[in-house]
Structure 1
Amino acid sequence: MYKIVKSRLRFSAIFFSILIIDVIVKNISEVSLFRMVTKSSLLLLLVVLVLYHRSEQKKENIFFLISALICFWLGDIFMLFYKNIILYFVAIFFFVLGKLFYVFRLSTKRDFSMNRLLPYVLFGVAFMFVVYNFIFNGLCETSFFMVFLYFFAALKVFLFAILRKNAVVPLSYNLVLLGVFFSFFSDTITALSSFSEIVIPFSDSAIMVFYGLSQFFIVIGILEDKNTCVFKKSCKSWL
């Protein structure tokens, strides 16, 4: 397994190959043993990558990142049984936890200007308002609270990703922010498909593709924050 994470080309090829296979399996059968394997493999690969680079990371940072990935993995498994309303909300709970662990990992000790952050806060709140305007009629009291909590956690991840600017190397900042935007796409399509009458072509495939891309770029970006050269040819740990 560690041989895979030593090569950026090999790791990326295997990760995206599994992602494509998972999308294909999802269109064939929502719940299957093979689907559990493909979804779990994506997060497992990222966990192994994090562990391979653990020597460059603080212990608490490793804990937050691994915890986030484990929570997303549990959420993925429970979401396979989304037709059971209890398991559906359990899945959302773990997704929220996963995003909060990302917030803890992305936080920095640098001071920030509220004036600089305010436009992003307004953008995030406006984005949530627009989405809620489309899905409001499809929400019950419980789902309203859980979805609100989920989007609030997503907004926190976005803001803390923004706050990393000038605190980490540019490559790390850009990769994480790219991953966060992919997560926005996945979350928005999921909300609209689940709670509104809007029909989005290939929504099931798009949700998984954007979700996989978001996890990939967020994790890779986080590992780059100390210039550990995960994506640099000259780095001995990523040849």
Structure 2
Amino acid sequence: MAKQSNILELTGSIGNISFYKTKEGYRARQKGGVTKKRILTDPHYERTRENNAEFGRATSAAKHIRHALAFSLAKAGDNTFHNRLKSLMVKVVQSDPISDRGERTVQIGDLDILQGLRLNKKRSLDGSLGQYVRIEKESGQLKFTLKNCNPELFQAPSSTTHFRLFAQGLRMNFEPFEFVKSLYETPLLPIETNGIDLSFDLKIEGDLPGKELFAVGLEFFQKLGDTPYPVAKKDFNVGEVV
């Protein structure tokens, strides 16, 4: 790294030299770094190639799951979801107990790592539904029970008049990516009603083999006349992989 001593202080690149500003002043350095060809062929970069291959599989799987969860994300997702999902999918790939490094896959990894993933980072299912909700998962089926519930304790925005619960089930095969889904949502329910009892079973239809994922969530609305409007730009809505 060299210090610029010119009358003109430069930023940018000229030929193979990069000019930039730091807290200590203007600096210059020669462009360098490892070439793509070397990373692809040099034995010293074998671990880098392994990591890149597995990161690519995790990124692709995250993209597919986000697409498959579109129903739930439209109700309660935020703009950080994809990056948070991608980080967890790297761990799913790394949990593959059979394949060699660089060959590990989502298909053999542990998808339970996604349990508890929030669609909206700010709100948790437990924090909203708390002690009331009981969720049981069997193969291909989700059983949801809400007993003697007081919806006023859902931490809803003050303008909320109604709420709605939703759920989604997925069964996915990742190589190549295919999925089947099942969807459920309640009618709009008044937030001021006490002692609500609600239960539903969500079964994933179809005979596609693969890994299963369920998401459950909660939406808040303000009803004006006969028209419901999402409250606070959906920022208070809740969704979570269960």
TM-score interval, smaller chain: under 0.3
More strand by share: 2
Return the TM-score normalized by structure 2. 0.27
- Relative contact order, CA 8 A, sep 6+: which one is greater? 1
